[in-house]
Amino acid sequence: MAYFICLFVCCFAGLMIGAQGTYGRYGYNQNRLPADVSAAGRQRPPVTYIRPGQGNIINLGAQAEVCKSRPLDLVFIIDSSRSVRPAEFERVKVFLSDTVDSLDISPNGTHVGLINYASTVNIEFHLNRHRTKAEIKQAFSRVDPLSAGTMTGLAIKTAMEQAFTEEAGARPENKNIAKVAIIVTDGRPQDKVEDVSAAARAAGIEIYAVGVDRADMKSLRLMASQPLDEHVFYVETYGVIEKLTSRFRETLCEEVRSDLTEDPCMCEAQIAFQKKIQYSIHEINSKLEDITRKVHQFHLR
């Protein structure tokens, strides 16, 4: 038994040293495990989890301005139903503001819109309304929760039919500007989301689904674009939702890294390091299963 434990420890140390030696000691997201393995080794759906008290999330800080995103038509769709307390709703607005801070907001860059929903859906502002970060963040600060209900499907339908239109500021198809929706919800939809989400994705809208607290994971997966482990996120409380800012910043930086002649924010190295860590964890799990099987066979003798 001691031999097997020693073998496992040696394998783990070797893999981690190899990963660090290749890519250096850059920050990485320890919370993002392989899509089918949880922290306890149990099977779980493809989703990125952020839990209170966990650190080591990628944080580019002031360097986010260097890693400019590709141009986007970006619409936030936020749940403000009764289950979202006023202080929690303020946290959501901070998350939105921090995410906008990492984007290239400009006439030829990213445009931002906001949909607020509960039992009703309110388009707070369209993509063509605000042209600077300061204007957008001021608009966020003025948004109030709507109270009862969770009509997520209706909110997605409204985004597709009214927010992502040229009349509302979405740029023409021939401009090849990506259409992105980020949905934030803490509950179970009271209407159907599968068909309307599929229609939105078919219309070219990339959907990210962020679940908080009691959010229904099945619904998040039905809404989100593929691959799910890159488009579905879960945080246990609104108190840690701001940590997802760095995850979205990483994603946007990854999208344009091939266009950069230099990489001052180390985005490419950080992403490569993450992938190396994920591969290492897969390797460790495989070796652990092999060790477990051998230990089991040893006890049967």
Q: List % helix, strand, coil for the chain (3-state, nearest 5).
A: 50, 15, 35
* Structure confidence at residue 31 (pLDDT): 37
Res 195: pLDDT? 97
Rounded to 5°, the CA angle 281-283-284 comes to 65
- Please indicate, yes or no, whether the overall pTM of this predicted structure exceeds 0.75: no
pLDDT-derived band at 25 (thresholds 50, 70, 90) equals very low
- pLDDT at residue 288, as a whole number: 74
Q: What is the pLDDT of residues 85-94, one digit of tens each?
A: 999 999 999 9
Q: What is the overall mean pLDDT for the chain?
A: 77
Spatial separation of the C-alpha atoms in residues 108 and 67, rounded to whole Å: 16
Q: What is the fold of 48-252?
A: Rossmann fold (3.40.50)
| Percent over 90 (pLDDT), the chain | 51
Give residue 284's pLDDT.
Answer: 77
Query: Cβ neighbours of residue 33 under 8 Å, at least 6 residues apart?
Result: 39, 49, 278, 281
Q: What is the mean pLDDT of residues 221-237?
A: 94
The strand pair at 205-212 and 48-50 is best described as unpaired
Percentage of the chain surpassing pLDDT 70? Answer: 64
Segment 212-227 shows an average pLDDT of 95
- The per-residue pLDDT for 172 is 95
Residue type, 160: M
Helices (H), the chain: 2-23, 86-101, 133-141, 152-158, 194-202, 217-223, 228-231, 244-256, 267-300
Lowest mean pLDDT among 84-98, 193-207, 239-253, 254-268: 254-268
Between these two residues, 274 and 98, which has the higher pLDDT value? 98
Q: In this model, does residue 29 exceed pLDDT 60?
A: no
Report which of residues 99 and 276 the model is more confident about: 99
The Cα 197–Cα 229 span in angstroms is 17
Tell me what the mean pLDDT of segment 60-87 comes to: 76
Tell me: pLDDT of 75 over 70: yes
Token pair recorded at residue 151? 């009509």
pLDDT beyond 50 at 258: no
CA-CA distances (angstroms) from residue 120 to 59, 79, 93?
Answer: 35, 10, 19
Please give the DSSP secondary-structure letter assigned to residue 171.
P
- Give the whole-angstrom CA distance, residue 239 versus residue 210: 14
Q: Which of 50-64, 130-144, 171-185 has the lowest mean pLDDT?
A: 50-64
Tens of pLDDT along 269-290? 555 566 556 656 756 766 777 7
Q: Is the pLDDT of residue 69 over 70?
A: no
**If we measure between CA atoms, which residue out of 199, 185, 206, 166 comes closest to residue 72?**
206
Write down the pLDDT at residue 19. Answer: 44
- Binned at pLDDT 50, 70 and 90, residue 54 comes out as very low
286/148: higher pLDDT: 148
Sheet holding 232-235, edge to edge: 48-50, 232-235, 205-212, 178-185, 72-79, 111-117, 121-125
- pLDDT of the residue at 59: 34
